[in-house]
A and B are shown apart, each in its own frame.
Chain A
Amino acid sequence: MIEFHHAYKAYPNGNKALKDVSFQIERGEFVFLTGPSGAGKTTLFRLISAYDRPTSGNVRVAGREISLLKARELPYFRRHVGVVYQDFRLLKNRTVFENVALPLVVKGESKNSIEKRVLDLLDQVALYQKKDAFPLEMSGGEQQRVAIARALIHQPEVLIADEPTGNLDPDLSLEILHLLEKANARGTTVFVATHDHAMVQKKPARRIDICQGELRSDA
Chain B
Amino acid sequence: MNPYVLSHLKKTFSDHSATLFATLFSMSVVLSCLSLILLARQNMAAMADRWGQDSEITAYLDEDISPSTRVELQKSIGGISQVEKAEYVSKEESARRFLKRMGHLAPDFLQGGEAQENPLPATMDVKIKADLSLSDRVGTLEKVAEKISALSGVSEVSYGQGWLESWSQFLRKFNVFTGAAVAFVLILGLLIIGNATRVSMERRLDEIQVLELVGATASWIRRPFLMEGAVLGLASAVISLVISNFLNEAVIKYFSGSGILWASDAALALSPASILLVLILGLAFGFLGSFLCVRRISTGWLAGEMDVHD
Contact = CB atoms under 8 A, between A and B. Distances in A.
A91 B213 contact: no
B310 A71 contact: no
A39 interface: yes
A42 B215 contact: no
B296 interface: no
A96 B6 CA distance: 18
Q: Which of A71, A75, A102 has the most CB of B within 10 A?
A: A75
Nearest to B302: A51
B203 to A, nearest CB: 10
What is the interface of chain B mostly: helix, strand, loop, or mixed? helix
A106 B308 contact: no
Interface string A66-99: 0000011011101100010010011101100010
Given A79-B215, A106-B216, A46 B308 contact: yes
Interface string B213-231: 1111110100000000000
Interface in B161-213: 206-207, 209-213
Interface in A142-196: 150, 154
Contacts, number: 80
Contacts of A89: 206, 209-210, 213
A105 interface: yes
Q: Which of A11, A41, A72, A86 has the most CB of B within 10 A?
A: A72
A42 B304 contact: no
A78 B212 contact: yes
Contact of B211 (A72, A83, A102): A102
Contact of A71 (B3, B210, B214, B300): B300
A177 to B, nearest CB: 21
Contacts of B217: 72, 75, 106
A105 B4 CA distance: 8
Interface in A98-123: 98, 102-103, 105-107, 111
B255 interface: no
B1 interface: no
B309 interface: yes
Contacts of A40: 310
Contacts of A78: 212-215
A75 B309 contact: no
Given A42-B308, A71-B301, A89-B206, 4 more contacts: A74-B300, A75-B300, A91-B206, A106-B217
Interface of A: 11, 17, 37-43, 46, 49, 51-52, 71-72, 74-76, 78-79, 83, 86, 89-91, 93-94, 98, 102-103, 105-107, 111, 150, 154
Interface of B: 3-4, 7, 11, 15, 206-207, 209-218, 220, 299-301, 303-304, 306, 308-310
15 contacts: A51-B304, A71-B299, A71-B300, A72-B218, A79-B214, A89-B206, A91-B210, A94-B7, A98-B7, A102-B211, A106-B4, A106-B216, A111-B3, A154-B214, A154-B215
